[in-house]
Amino acid sequence: MVYKLSALLILPVLLISCSGTRPDNLGIRNGRLAPCPGTPNCVSTFEKDRRSGIEPLNYTGTRQKAKKKLLKAIYSFKHSQIITEKEGYIQAEFKTLLWGFVDDVEFYLPDNEKVIHFRSASRIGKFDFGVNRKRMEKIRELFNKF
């Protein structure tokens, strides 16, 4: 009984510690999103290497319609939350159900291109077992479907 009670008291502390704190390098600077940190838990359309690089989303139509489709794709994930939404920028957090790990995901829709750049990075740790890349490919699939 004491063991179960101790586990129940410790679990919330562990879950909170898995979320980490929001990085201060998020946002658009000089027309770009922040570079990946060099660990295998980040993908970005601005990176060129095989490990971190990923193709951006292309779209036709208006930027506003593309943003609506993108928001629909993001909200398709149960544990997603929009943190910031501006004209050409969206910042979201995706949380894992079991451990509460948080991934910071950013989308940049430049006004002079028909492209959506993005960056997805785990907030803590070094390895994500490909979760960020898989999520972004799922968002691509959903975006193209809508």
What are the pLDDT digits (tens) for 55-97? 999 999 999 999 999 999 999 999 999 999 999 999 999 998 7
Cβ contact 80:93 at 8 Å: yes
What is the Cα–Cα distance from 18 to 2, expressed in whole angstroms? 24
2-20+33-145 under CATH 1.10.10, yes or no: no
Query: Residue 13 CA to chain centroid, in angstroms?
Result: 24
- What three-state secondary structure class fits 141? helix
Residue 4 predicted with pLDDT over 70 = no
Q: Model-level pTM?
A: 0.84
- CA 32 vs CA 85, 126, 140, 144: distances in Å: 17, 23, 20, 23
- What three-state secondary structure class fits 66? helix
Q: Which residue has the higher pLDDT, 16 or 104?
A: 104
Closest CA to 103 of 11, 14, 18: 18
